[in-house]
Every structure is written in C-alpha cells, then in structure tokens.
A and B are shown apart, each in its own frame.
Chain A
C-alpha cells in the first residue's frame, strides 16, 4: 500500500495540476486529521457507553 502510494505521489513523471498547485497534500492532511478526530471521539464515546452499560447491568 505504502509502495503504491509512494509511486502515485512521488515517482509518477506525470505530475498533475492538482499537485502543481501545492494544495493536494494540505487538503489530504487536513481531511486525515478530521477523520482521526472523528474516529477518536467515536471510540471514546463507545468505551464510555460500554462502561455505562456494564455499570447499569451491575446495578440492581
């Protein structure tokens, strides 16, 4: 996967307009950061809910 991406992003002789503008990597970085933030918050919410559910099941 890394090898493929390296080829696509850096080794292609046909560097595109999208890269030429210099913004593609910034957009990718921002989008990945947002996705990581969403994933982290969902995961934390998931864990918290699991704890609440187990506490609720333990309580008579």
Chain B
C-alpha cells in the first residue's frame, strides 16, 4: 500500500477509535427525568425528583446552594430542600389552595450544574383557579453559568442514547455517499458500456447495503429506547426500509441473469431508478409529512437544538471515519470484482 493509502485507511480507523472512546467516555449533562408523587393535593407534601447524567451534587449531604422552585402558569412556588443526593432531591412544599394552572413545572437550581428543568412534573388535584397567595410565592435565583466541562447535551427522552448519533447518522451518510458513487457508475455504464463501470456499480451497492442495514439496526434500537417500539409507521423509517429492499432487488436481479452484458445494462438502469427512489423516499417525501424523526417537517438538517459543540467534536470525525471505512470496503469489493473478471476472462 502506498503512504497515502495507509494514511486514509488507518486514519479513518483511528478516527473511529477516537469516536468510540470519546463517544462512550464523555459524560451526559444532568437532566430531571422523574418526579413523585405525580398527583398532589393542596397542603403540605414531600416531593422527590430524580435525575440522570452527571450528578448535580458530590454526595448525600448539604443542600447549600441548591433550590427547587415549582411553577404554575407564571407564578413561582417556593419549596424547602431536605435532602440532596447525586441524582435525587427531596423537598417539602405546601401546595396552595389556588393556583393559575394545575400542572407544575420543576426548576432545580444547582451550584455545579446550573438549572435543571422538568415540565409538567406534578399535577395538582382539588386546587382552585387563581393567582398563588403571596406567602407561597418564590423569587427565582439568579441564572448561573455552570462549568460542565466536555459533556454531551441532555435531551428529554433521548438521554444517554444520544451517543447513537455517532453511529446511526454517519452510517446513513456513508450509505448515501457510496450509493452516489454507484449511481454515477451506472450512468457511466449506460453511456460507455464498459464492464469497469458495472464492477464499480455492483461494489457500491453491495457496500452501501451493509451500511443501510447497519443504519436500520441502529435506528430500530434507538426507536425502541426513545419511542418505545422497535418499529413505528413513520415515513422516514418506512422509506429507509423500502430503499434497502430496492437495493436488495438490485442484487437479486444480477443473480438472476448469467449474460454479463445484459446484467450490466439492466442492473445499471435499475440502479439509476433505485438511487432516484432513495432520494425521494429519504430526502423528499419525509419533509412533506409529520414525522417523529428529527430533521423533518421543513427542517432539512441539524440545528443548534440537535447538536452542540461537544457533540460536533465527535460527530464530524464520526462522519469522516465511517465514510473512510465504507470507501475502503467499496474499494476492496471493486478490486475483487476486477480480479474475478480477469480470472474468468483469461
């Protein structure tokens, strides 16, 4: 292998090693996930809130610097913290007889990790509608800028599974990349009728399918964690499955014929059609429909809500790393096709 070949191949592997180490090694920012009891009635009550991610306190002990405030409508209700643990707080509060809204949001102010929020944390039954009496009202503490270090953002529902972004999305990008190579190869095949382009098209589709199946598997795993089901009837998910099945059809079509020239031309036509369908099913149709999948409904890509700088520092290397691995696999398959053809035609 030439120096350049060694560089990009093993550079890609090193990038993926970096992605694995940093992707699994970086802590998640803290976030509130659970409140109990979820139903409250007016009067004194003890509340408990649970969090995931980085702990917001070192150990069970002092409540200094921590505050828990509840919000009903625009009114704030004060509480008294009785215990602060690394991932849990307990507080006493007297629920007022009347409040603007029966739904209470929780704000936990911490010195180390800033403000944690849980919307609709509690629901009050039996309280009248109206402003909160002054004796229960709280004044919000000043906002602090916590130093969380290098950490991944906390997103409700997604939580620790946000690390899958470094696998699932770059795998689809890699599939797009190599299927694009296959598309160009098929167009060239139709134009020139040279077997070399057929080899390239076949190698691209075969490699792209591996990454498509990996993308489906990682997506299904992610869906199970965040949406509660291995598969949901969503335009993006169904489009991805249809695309993979279409490309599987390409391989079946090739296997069904023995005449090399016919195989080359027919599969090139099919591949052009499959790539157009890939673009329509994965990039066009889902944007016209409501979808659970992020980046849809008029929003074509990632934005500041999906990615922050710490995620970008791992996500972009992941895209390059998976792309390099995919391209390496493609070149190997292409060389196998060439070697096989050379042996058979000698």
Are A8 and B335 closer than 8 Å at their CB atoms? no
Most buried by A among B24, B55, B58, B332: B24
8 A Cβ contacts from B13-58 to A:
13, 16-18, 20-22, 24-28, 52-55, 58
Expressed in whole angstroms, the Cα–Cα distance for A28 and B24 within the complex equals 6
Query: Contacts of A9 on B, CB cut-off 8 Å?
Result: 25
The number of chain B residues with a CB under 8 A from chain A is: 39
Expressed in whole angstroms, the Cα–Cα distance for A5 and B19 within the complex equals 12
8 A Cβ contacts from B109-130 to A:
112-113
Expressed in whole angstroms, the Cα–Cα distance for A32 and B54 within the complex equals 24
Are B113 and A16 closer than 8 Å at their CB atoms? no
Are B149 and A14 closer than 8 Å at their CB atoms? yes
Cβ 8 A contact of A49, one of B87, B335, B343: B335
Are A32 and B28 closer than 8 Å at their CB atoms? no
Query: Contacts of A20 on B, CB cut-off 8 Å?
Result: 55
Expressed in whole angstroms, the Cα–Cα distance for A10 and B55 within the complex equals 15
Expressed in whole angstroms, the Cα–Cα distance for A16 and B151 within the complex equals 10
Are A56 and B343 closer than 8 Å at their CB atoms? yes
- Is residue B273 contacting chain A, with contact meaning CB distance below 8 A? no
Query: Contacts of B149 on A, CB cut-off 8 Å?
Result: 8, 12, 14
A residues with CB within 8 A of B: 1, 4-5, 8-9, 12-20, 24, 27-28, 31-32, 35, 38-39, 42-43, 45-47, 49-50, 52-53, 56, 59
How many whole Å from A37's CB to the nearest CB in chain B? 11
How many whole Å from B240's CB to the nearest CB in chain A? 23
Most buried by B among A8, A15, A17, A59: A17
Closest B residue to A11 using CB positions: B149
- Please list 9 pairs of residues, one from A and one from B, whose beta carbons are closer than 8 Å in the complex, sorted by A's number: A14-B113, A16-B53, A17-B53, A27-B24, A42-B9, A46-B9, A47-B1, A49-B336, A53-B335
Expressed in whole angstroms, the Cα–Cα distance for A39 and B24 within the complex equals 20
Cβ 8 A contact of A31, one of B24, B53, B339: B24
Are B339 and A52 closer than 8 Å at their CB atoms? yes
Query: Contacts of A49 on B, CB cut-off 8 Å?
Result: 332, 335-336, 339
How many whole Å from B135's CB to the nearest CB in chain A? 37
- Is residue B279 contacting chain A, with contact meaning CB distance below 8 A? no
A-B residue pairs, 6 tightest by C-beta: A16-B27, A14-B54, A28-B24, A39-B13, A31-B20, A16-B54
Are B28 and A18 closer than 8 Å at their CB atoms? yes
